[in-house]
């Protein structure tokens, strides 16, 4: 079955750049929007952004200036970079798949807790 496996640094200092990568196993990279969502501890979900297999990326207006989402179709991977992190960026970051048919997020990665602390 299709799985998303994500990895990246879990502890950052303020002003550093968060970098996460997500790999798609046993499934097609085409025909979906590959999405990043985060969830601060004890709080709600926040949509960060998405990219499709053609490399068309969009992100939340509130994060747009700091977010870069890219993809490497040859490796079935997509990545998130968030620059100039602060403590408010501490969260569990999820990679996920949004179906172009249903527009719902129907597959999630396991999540990565990223803590920003000096």
Partner 1 sequence: QSALTQPASVSGSPGQSITLSCTGTSSDIGSYYLVSWYQQHPGKVPKLIIYEDFKRPSTISNRFSGSKSGNTASLTISGLRTEDEADYYCCSYAGNDTYVFGSGTKLTVL
Q: Which residue reads 């200036």 in tokens?
A: 65
Q: How many CB atoms lie within 10 A of CB 10?
A: 12
Q: Provide, rounded to whole angstroms, the least separation between the CB of residue 16 and partner 1.
A: 26
Binding-residue total with partner 1 (CB under 8 A): 24
Q: Which is nearer to partner 1, 10 or 14 (CB)?
A: 10
CA-closest candidate to residue 25, choices 7, 39, 10:
7
**Stretch of residues binding partner 1 (CB under 8 A), selected from 16-24, 65-73, 76-84, 107-115:** 107-115
Asked if residue 34 lies in contact with residue 95, where contact means CB atoms within 8 angstroms, the answer is yes
Q: Six-digit token pair at 98?
A: 């949004």
Q: List interacting residues with partner 1 (CB under 8 A).
A: 37, 43-47, 50, 56, 58-62, 94, 99, 102-106, 108-111
């Amino acid at each position: 079955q299709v799985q998303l496996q994500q990895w990246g640094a879990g502890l950052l200092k303020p002003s550093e750049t968060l970098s996460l990568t997500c790999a798609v196993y046993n499934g097609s990279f085409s025909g979906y929007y590959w999405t990043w969502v985060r969830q601060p501890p004890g709080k709600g979900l926040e949509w960060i952004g998405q990219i499709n297999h053609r490399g068309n990326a969009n992100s939340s207006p509130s994060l747009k200036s700091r977010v870069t989402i890219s993809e490497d179709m040859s490796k079935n991977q997509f990545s998130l970079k968030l620059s100039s992190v602060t403590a408010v960026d501490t969260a569990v970051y999820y990679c996920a798949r949004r179906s172009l048919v249903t527009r719902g997020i129907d597959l999630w990665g396991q999540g990565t807790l990223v803590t920003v602390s000096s």
